[in-house]
Every structure is written in structure tokens, then in C-alpha cells.
Amino acid sequence: MALIVQKYGGTSVGDPERIMNVAKRVVDTKRDGNQVVVVVSAMGGQTDKLINLAKEISKNPSDRELDMLVSTGEQISVALLAMAIHELGEDAISLTGAQVGIMTDDVHTKARILDIKPDKMQEQLALNKVVIVAGFQGINIQQDITTLGRGGSDTTAVALAAVLKADMCEIYTDVDGVYTADPRIVPNARKLKEITHEEMLEMASLGAKVLMSRSVEFANKYNVPLCVRSSFNRSEGTYIVKETNVMEQPVIRGVTADTSEAKVTLLHLPDQPGIAAKLFNLVAKYNINIDMIIQNVSEHGYTDISFTVNKNDVPKIKSILADLTQEVSARAINVNEDIAKISVVGIGMRSHSGVASKMFNLLAQAGINISMISTSEIKISCVIREGEAKQAVKVLHEGFELDKE
Ligand code: ADP
Ligand code: ASP
Ligand code: MG
């Protein structure tokens, strides 16, 4: 008997009819002779609705209370799915993150899973039940509810699959699998049969929200067999694997766009040892993740530093940097939210040169200006204006011929 973890995203459980559809798929899997653990997200749009509700009350709500609020979304969908499975004549039990013992650290709104107890789930599976777990949530050592960051139900699913040593973790969503680019932006994007953990991790961290990047990290670390499939049809999805056939290795596997970041610039900082350390120590103390960093050439003993952060962290950044600006007599802080990070990803880049110049040429031909660049062995990212993001993705997808096999 195989143990399968299935995760259904927000659109897949968006209304009662869709919840019944998910229930049928779960019951089919069970009746095929498998044990099934299901992770579900909040019904589509619910998490955003709850966050907006909080913003109507407070501009800078407490992270603990935000977690208390947004975790309710998943509690609704697990209960409804359990009822739907009961209607189909199978036994099922819904459980919150706390009931399962999903222990996390204290970093509210972006907590990391530290430990999960499999006992309760195993007990219920042994009673022939479908176990339904609320995605996205856990508890910290003080028993406070935490959440794992947007898209966190993917991480819940892979983490459960890891501790349960599941035979497969299936992520069911509203697209058929992982594509060479977001199929909503590039209609002729191609579905990938396979993608390596390394490439999927980059694509996920660079804006391909089909999987949360932490979930890919877990799958890689704990060897969880992972695939992405559609909850609306039976077509074969995409497998996330350790290695793909080297002979068929393309230079570029995919193109992504990330519009969730903002660029923060500190102007006219003294160009002295310790200034960058002071700045980024402060930012790290408040658990704000920094992405790209650029320091300008120093002029007359002064320099500018720019970095990118998640737009959600902008109010926090502004308030924590206000004092520092005064302390080091920097001239000002600029925040530009009108940015997008466009990236090309592929492990084939390791053995090919000229990818960066081709990317810059393609963007230049389209009249798109680049304001920041960063590279790693397997990706190149450019920051451009947000309004040009979709065009840039299309231009790169076509220029690198990703629609072709
Ligand atoms: P869920 O609610 O099921 O978790 P998400 O909205 O988080 O679904 O993720 C699925 C979406 O990811 C798709 O609808 C698609 O628009 C988007 N997406 C972005 N990049 C890609 C890609 N490279 N391949 C597939 N989907 C992608
Ligand atoms: N409901 C959460 C979100 O919208 C978690 C998830 O869907 O994975 O981000
Ligand atoms: Mg998601």
C-alpha cells in the first residue's frame, strides 16, 4: 500500500463544487488502495481578503495577530473537504497545524518548520481515514499560531511527505505542471516533463509561484518524490527530480518574473568600513530578507547603496532605517516599488557562455532598460520597470526559443 500526500491549492478548492471535485479525486486515490494525506490551502482569494481586512484596521498590524487571522482560511477548507469526503462514504478527519504538531520557529508570517510529529497522522491513517491537514500553518514553542509565508501550503505538503516517508507528494494546482514561463503570460510556454530541484528552486525563488521555494528545498534535502499536476484534468504533470538527461539539457529551462520586490536606495552614505555591516545587521535583526545589493562607485568619500526587499517589508524598512540615516548622516532613503526582476534559469548555462549578453541584447532590442543585474552559475536576473515585465518575459521566451522542444 502506497502513502500519497496530495496538496490542493486555493483555486482547486475555490467553491463547494470544486471542493466536491477534490473530494472525488482523493476518494479515487484511496479506493485505488492507497493511504492518503491531503493538505489544502484556503479557498481562492481568502488569504488576500483576510490580509486586506487587517489593513483596514491597522497600517502595520502585529505579525502574531496577522498569523492568527490568516490561518483561519485553511481551517475552513479542511473542514469542508472532510465533510465532502464523508458525503462520498469514506472516513476523513481534518487537523490544524497545531493538532498535527507542526512546530516552527518564532518568525511570524514567514516561519520555518523545525519539526513535525508523524504519530497523530499515522494513528488516523491506521484507522482507515483520509487525513486532511491545514496548509501554511504551524505553532511555535509558545503555542502561538505561525504561518509559513505566501504559498506555504506547498511547504506543508512536502514536509509532511518527508516525515511520513510518503511514496509521492503531488501538488495539484490550476495549471498542468511547470512550464517554461508562466502560461498566463506566455500562451505558447511549454510544459516540462521534468525539471531538476536546482532549477525549480531558482525558478520558484525568482517568481514562478507554482511551487514555494522552501518546498523544493525540502524535497531535495529529504528526497521526496514530487510532482505538479492539474486538479482539473488527468494529464501527466511535471516531475521535480535530482537530475535530468544531460544529453537533452537545454541552456535555459525557463523565464520568470517577480513583481513582489521593491528597490530601496540609501543616498550619500559615508564610504567607510562598517557602514554596510551596520545597515544589513539592522535589517537582519528585524528578519527582513534582502535580495540584490548594489553599491555605487564612491565619489568624494560618499557612496549609495541599493538593495531589494519584499514590498510587504517596505513600511518596516522605512521605519528602521530612519534612525540609521540620521546616525550616519546619509542624505535620504528612496523606495521604488515600480520594479520587476526578470530571470532566465538553466543548469545548461554552466557550460555555455554568452547567455548574459544575449539576454541584455534581447531586452535592449525591445527598448527595455535594465537598472540592476545579478548572476549565479545557473541564472541571470535583471531589474526592470514593473510595467515592462510581461513584455520582457515574452521577448526572452521567444529569443531563447523556449517554445521549441
Ligand atoms: P495554488 O493556489 O494552487 O497554490 P498558485 O497560484 O500558487 O496556485 O500557483 C499556480 C500559478 O503559478 C499558475 O496559475 C501560474 O499562473 C503561475 N506560474 C508562474 N510561473 C509558472 C510556471 N513557470 N509554470 C507554471 N505555472 C506558473
Ligand atoms: N493560503 C496561503 C496563501 O494564499 C497559503 C497557500 O495558498 O499556499 O498564500
Ligand atoms: Mg501556491
pLDDT in tens, 121-146: 999 999 999 999 999 999 999 999 99
pTM of the model: 0.94
Cα 241 to ligand 2 centroid, rounded to whole Å = 24
Q: Which pLDDT score is estimated for 247? A: 67
Give the per-residue pLDDT at 315.
87
What is residue 385's DSSP assignment? E
Choose the CATH number for 3-174 among 3.40.50.720, 3.40.50.300, 3.30.465.10, 3.40.1160.10: 3.40.1160.10
Establish whether 172 is an annotated binding residue.
no
- Tell me what pLDDT residue 20 has: 98
Of the bound ligands, which one is closest to the alpha carbon of residue 149? Answer: 2
Domain extent listing, the chain: 3-174, 254-258+339-399, 263-335
Superfamily of domain 263-335: ACT domain (3.30.70.260)
Residue 67 burial (C-beta neighbours within 10 Å; 0-12, 13-18, 19+): buried
Residue 254: its pLDDT value, please? 97
**Nearest ligand 1 atom to alpha carbon 9:** 3
What is the structure's pLDDT at 364? 98
Q: How far is the CA of 7 from the centre of ligand 3 (A)?
A: 10
The protein residue with its alpha carbon nearest to ligand 1, atom 25, reads: 178
Q: Which residue from 67, 70, 74, 153 has its CB within 8 A of the most atoms of ligand 2, so it is best to mutate?
A: 153
Known binder of ligand: residue 7?
yes
Q: Is 14 in the pocket of ligand 1 (CB under 6 A)?
A: no
Ligand nearest to the CA of 157: 2
Superfamily per CATH, domain 254-258+339-399: VC0802-like (3.30.2130.10)
Judge residue 217's burial from the number of C-beta atoms within 10 Å of its C-beta, 0-12 exposed, 13-18 middle, 19 or more buried.
middle
Residue nearest to atom 3 of ligand 1 (CA): 9
Binding residue per annotation — 237?
A: no
Residue 172 beta carbon below 6 angstroms from any ligand 1 atom? no
What region does 326 belong to: left with phi over 0, alpha with psi -120 to 50, or beta? alpha
| Neighbour tally for 333: CB within 10 Å | 15
- Report the C-alpha gap between 25 and 310 in whole angstroms: 36
- Regions in the chain scoring below 50 on pLDDT: none
Q: How far, in Å, from the CA of 96 to the mean position of ligand 2?
A: 15
